[in-house]
Homo-oligomer: A and B are copies of this chain.
């Protein structure tokens, strides 16, 4: 698979803000997929927004399935990284839970965009299997992380609490998006956080 090389040997080039094409492609694809789903995104549209030809996209991601997999993998990795970075200075499970919920809120508030895995999860049976597997992995990792937190909070069934919290947050993003009312998400977030 083609992976972005972030210009490792930068001797003394001029542009510091040069973003690799692969990253740009993923950025555009992510925004579009989180708006309208997997099948609503085309190589042509992405290429047009980048100012290159659609054939060139196949150099970076030979098949659309490759793009889909890379997209979810990056999304999940970013989430994990943000979660790790934000919980370095936390002391209590309560604070960790707050960090988690806040990451979800940030995703929604960014450009009123629903979680990538909520969108792809909704059409999972129609996706290429490798893409669905990445979505499932994202959910599983989230569930595991939340289970640990709820264990620390002394919940009787921490895994069940984790699955409920995940479902509620993902569902609330969708309802908030349709209703154009983030108050739904806020109410959901409040309930998750009240689960001490």
Task: List residues of chain A with CB under 8 Å of any chain B CB.
Answer: 35-40, 114, 118-119, 121-127, 132, 135-136, 139-140, 160, 163-164, 166-172, 174-175, 177-179, 183-184, 187-188, 191
Contact = CB atoms under 8 A, between A and B. Distances in A.
Q: Which 6 A-B pairs have the closest CB atoms?
A: A36-B126, A171-B171, A122-B122, A39-B39, A37-B123, A167-B171
A49 to B, nearest CB: 15
A135 B114 CA distance: 16
B172 A167 contact: yes
Nearest to A185: B167
B179 A175 contact: no
Contacts of A187: 160, 163-164
A168 to B, nearest CB: 5
Q: How many copies does the complex hold?
A: 2
B167 A121 contact: no
B37 A126 contact: yes
> Which of A127, A163, A188, A191 is packed against the most chain B CB atoms within 10 Å?
A163
> Which of A166, A178, A183 is packed against the most chain B CB atoms within 10 Å?
A178
Given A39-B39, A114-B122, A125-B35, A167 B178 contact: no
A126 B35 contact: yes
A113 to B, nearest CB: 9
Contacts of A38: 37
A114 to B, nearest CB: 6
A35 B123 CA distance: 6
B175 A122 contact: no
A107 B85 CA distance: 40
Contacts of A37: 37-39, 122-123, 126
8 contacts: A39-B39, A39-B40, A118-B122, A118-B174, A119-B123, A123-B123, A135-B178, A170-B174
